[in-house]
Amino acid sequence: MAIYDSWNLEYKSKFGALRRDEACRFSIKIPKNIPLDFSPVMVVFRTGFKERFLNMTKIGEDGDYSIYSVIFSAKYSGVHYYYFSYTTNGVRFYIKKKDCHLGNLNDGDLFQLTVFSKHYEPVEFLKGGIMYQIFPDRFCKSGKAHENIPSGRVLRDDWGGTPYYKPDENGHVWNNDYFGGDLEGIRSKLEYLSDLGVTCIYLNPIFESHENHRYNTANYMKIDPMLGDEEDFKRLCSDAQKYGISVILDGVFSHTGADSVYFNKFGRYDSVGAYNSKESPYFDWYTFYNYPNEYEAWWGIDTLPNVVETNDNYTKYICGENGVLDHWIQLGAAGYRLDVADELPDAFLENLNKCVKKHGNDKIVIGEVWEDASNKESYGVKRRYLLGHQLDSVMNYPFKQAIIDYINGGEPYNFINSIMTILENYPKPMADVLMNFVSTHDIERAINTFGGEYCGDKSKDWMAERYLTQQQYDKGKNMLKAAMSLMYFVVGVPSIYYGDEAGMQGYKDPFNRRCYPWGNEDTELIAFVKELGQIRKSSSAFADGTMEFIYNDSNIIGFARHSEEEDMLIFVNRSDKSCNVEPFFKLIKKYSISEALHGEITDLGLTVNSYDFAAIRCIK
């Protein structure tokens, strides 16, 4: 019998993170044959604060064990840590964490308890939805003529060609080739996205910039001319709403472009940039070491000068009345995904959150965080992302890694622990709208990860024209289907990186950013993704239901999503052969099956085809 189990409601009466002032009962079980000198204690503390010692009271017995309990409610938001202690014959023993959630005598880690604002609520429009990420230059080209295209751009007419990647004689890659995808092109594909079940489009940067990725912002208040103009953006947002689709923008607020109205290093603009004069209204946005040529730059890249986010003028420009955030929300944006959120100071994030939320709680702020965002530290500071005043959601890299590792043959035990640890550490309002994915613009496409060769030690020359063989493609596609099945049905919101559903390939940047293959899609894969979307949207259990793992063997993982209305049982087969869940009828004794939406129930149990899933609806 466990001494303590933080995932079991017998030991911790509420799973996961708690709201401030929310009471929770913590219980431990100690063998009766251990003579206690006095009652055990629960020890709780926050980093930088003293420990609190909470006396536990015996409340009952369970066989050969005595149950000791205490009710705790936190008065302050923040990440708390706790453990238990008891003394016998003058010797003190500790109960600490082992195997992610189990109590262990003396040796182990501290248990984590995230305490968040009592007023923190989820962003409702994203719950139960499906996100679709678009790299604007590469999704769809409308053919509409665009005016005032800045100089220095290479306009390509070979849609689907290999993006430029070779450096110039000075070793710089200019990323100045454009295939011409635009906002009108995206608008023309809204029906396609709606058929996929998409409810939210996440656009990589659309503001004027002079590289095709547009992460080197030149003007936060202007759409890049190759993408269109404000009217195109307003029309996209308005028409998307008719399909029940919201649009969120990429906010790049830790740095600007050197080639921008703010810095103006190359004299492109009539404005007086920080590089041009110390009298520039933008001068105090930046940190110069030896004016003007030595300055703080993002990761040392001199085309990306860092901004001082805590500068009052900069904060006002972005977060102030009628500033950047207001401007685009008023034109139709539903919120922002924040690039490199761990490089944005807490004060700036809180100002940004206030500005976005004044437009309504359904405007969202999503942060790019690659680690567990609940206990993340950056630049020596314990971050406050999840406490209710900064982020509504984060890019869920821990889930991405867990899914990739599991489908690639990792231990089911590790997959379960990875998923449950995040769900335990994150506030449920955030967990329900986590951005789940297996591919993005920053990593190789999942189909290559599964079917192709390892690219971590390969050159860009190797990646550039490297395509999967048919055998590799078939393997990668099948494994991608199993991975997407998990991505769609675990807690959070699935995010499709444009073209993954169509079988697009690509190793690392920029080859993961090729053009969508209109007319050459993998229609079988698209049909599979559509079905995932239809099943997801058919049940409230996938919007905000809790999650419980109920089965695993060497090939199949099974979990339940519980809502007040119904339960959904999901089984995913990661193997290349059809498998039968033989103890299926024993597993479902407590459920009342309504229908099998996918998968086959026979007299022998549940059959799940290779690299496929089963979805079973159960009524309450």
* Residues annotated as part of the active site: 339, 368
CA dihedral 26, 32, 33, 39 (to 10 degrees): 50
Nearest to 261, CA basis, from 307, 206, 218: 218
The pair of three-digit structure tokens given for residue 457, joined into one six-digit string:
């030690």
d(CA 79, CA 265): 43
d(CA 606, CA 617): 14
End-to-end Cα distance, the chain: 30
State the Rg of the chain over Cα: 26
d(CA 84, CA 33): 18
560: left (phi over 0), alpha (psi -120 to 50) or beta: beta
Residues whose CB falls within 8 Å of the CB of residue 76, separated by 6 or more in sequence, listed in order: 20, 46, 115
* Element spanning 594, H or E: strand 592-598
- Angle, vertex CA 27, rays to CA 26 and CA 31, nearest 5: 160
Nearest to 419, CA basis, from 405, 440, 439: 405
The pair of three-digit structure tokens given for residue 37, joined into one six-digit string:
């000198």
Residues whose CB falls within 8 Å of the CB of residue 218, separated by 6 or more in sequence, listed in order: 207, 208, 209, 210, 256, 257, 259, 260, 261, 268
- What backbone phi and psi angles, to 5 degrees, belong to 437? -155, 165
Distances (CA, A) of 399 to 366, 410, 433, 484: 16, 14, 13, 12
d(CA 190, CA 240): 7
CA dihedral 219, 222, 226, 228 (to 10 degrees): 170
Note whether 15 and 9 are within 8 A (CB): yes
* Element spanning 154, H or E: strand 154-155
The pair of three-digit structure tokens given for residue 143, joined into one six-digit string:
């053919």
Dihedral sign, CA of 323, 329, 333, 338?
Answer: positive
Residue 561 pairs in a beta bridge with 547, 568
The pair of three-digit structure tokens given for residue 499, joined into one six-digit string:
């073209």
The pair of three-digit structure tokens given for residue 109, joined into one six-digit string:
């880690």
Q: Tell me, rounded to whole angstroms, the distance of Cα 321 from its chain centroid.
A: 29
The pair of three-digit structure tokens given for residue 116, joined into one six-digit string:
């968040």
Note whether 206 and 247 are within 8 A (CB): no
3 state SS of 195: helix
Q: Where are the beta strands (DSSP E) in 469-586?
A: 493-497, 546-552, 556-562, 566-573, 579-581
Residue 365 pairs in a beta bridge with 336
| Amino acid at site 569 | L
3 state SS of 314: helix
Length of the chain in terms of residues written: 620
